[in-house]
Each structure stands twice: as C-alpha cells, then as structure tokens.
Amino acid sequence: MSHLLILYSTTDGQTVRICERLRSVVEAAGPHVTVKALADGTADDLQRCDAVVIGASIRYGKHKPEVGAFIARHQAALEARPNAFFSVNVVARKPGKDKPEANPYLLKFLRSIAWKPQRLAVFAGKIDYPRYGTLDRTMIRFIMWMTKGPTDRDAVVEFTNWDRVEDFGAEVARMVP
C-alpha cells in the first residue's frame, strides 16, 4: 500500500486541522497517511514514505525556523519522492493573496530555501482572539486593523476555505504512487 507522510508546523492548531482534512481526502482515495509534527519527523519517516507533504503556519510574516531547518537537513529525501508544501496564513483571506504565486509570505519563504516543492498551496488560517495571550491579541488586532480585518477582541473567525483544502487533498492523492 502506498504511504503519504504529512508533516506540519503549527502555531495555534489550524495547520493540524488542515492536515487532518487532507488525510481524510487522501485515505478515501486509497493511500495510507501518517500525519506527524515536523519537530518529530525523522529521516527514517521520509525513507518509509512514497510521497511527502509539509504544511506550515505563519505568525508575524514568518514560518517557524524549524521549517527551513528541516527542509535544509532533508532536502535530498524530499526531492527523491513526490512532494508538496502548503502555507497557512491569514493574509490568504484576501482574494489574490490566496494563490501560491501571489502570496507574499509563501513567495518570500520559497526564496529562502533551496528545495523547490513540486506542488504548492496556500490556505487562509483562523483568528481566535480569546485563545491568544495579551501580546499576540494586541499585535494581531493591530495587524488586522491595518489590513481591514476583524478586530473584535472576542472574535473567532475561520477563513480557511475547506473546499480548496479538499481540492488540494485530491491533487495530493494523485501524486502518491
């Protein structure tokens, strides 16, 4: 049976939810899927899979340093099998910024790494002000105010387009040998 490995780096959990939706779509097509935190991913995990997807969230315009470090450390293994990368960020809530070729954070990240993923996606994330600490809530509200997003300190707003996640899942399922 074919095996897809999905690795994730998340800040508030939305990337994990997206990975789980990808798992359900891909497994419905046949392949076995393992979803695992990027920090727990190993060279052995990569050697045992037939294809790999990495998903990572952005906070304050950047992916966590662990994402670039993992990719640099395992670039050859990533390139040796079908692969994909997706980014989760709130700027993708805006039309035009919801495509890989136009999302500034994804493009900046791709310029910072040597790996060239075969497939790319970008998904809008979620704002959950009540869960944030004081500093994050204040900073994110300020950013949202500047970009004309939601600023109500009690707001929980999910921007993720689940149909697009499922479409990407179907695309990923087709790449698994």
Instruction: Report the pLDDT value the prediction gives residue 164, as an integer from 0 to 100.
Output: 97
Residues 84, 52: one domain?
Answer: yes
Domain span including residue 152: 127-159
For the chain, the domain total comes to 2
CATH number at residue 42: 3.40.50.360
Q: What is the pLDDT of residues 133-142, one digit of tens each?
A: 999 999 999 9
Instruction: Report the pLDDT value the prediction gives residue 130, as an integer from 0 to 100.
Output: 96
Residues 52, 67: one domain?
Answer: yes
Residues 116, 148: one domain?
Answer: no
pTM: 0.94
**Mean pLDDT of all residues belonging to the chain:** 96
Distance between CA 114 and CA 110 in Å, rounded?
8
Residues 100, 16: one domain?
Answer: yes
Q: What is the pLDDT of residues 17-54, one digit of tens each?
A: 999 999 999 999 999 999 999 999 999 999 999 999 99
Residues 47, 109: one domain?
Answer: yes
Residues 29, 97: one domain?
Answer: yes
Residues 26, 104: one domain?
Answer: yes
Please count the other Cβ atoms lying within 10 Å of the Cβ belonging to residue 157: 16
Residues 58, 144: one domain?
Answer: no
Rama region for 137: left / alpha / beta (φ>0; ψ in -120 to 50; rest): alpha
Residues 115, 80: one domain?
Answer: yes
Residues 91, 170: one domain?
Answer: yes
At residue 95, the 3 state secondary structure works out as: coil
Residue 89 in contact with residue 124, Cβ under 8 Å?
yes
Residues 11, 81: one domain?
Answer: yes
Please, which pLDDT band fits residue 85 given cuts at 50, 70 and 90?
very high
The owner of tokens 């939810």 is 17
Residues 119, 136: one domain?
Answer: no
Instruction: Report the pLDDT value the prediction gives residue 75, as an integer from 0 to 100.
Output: 98
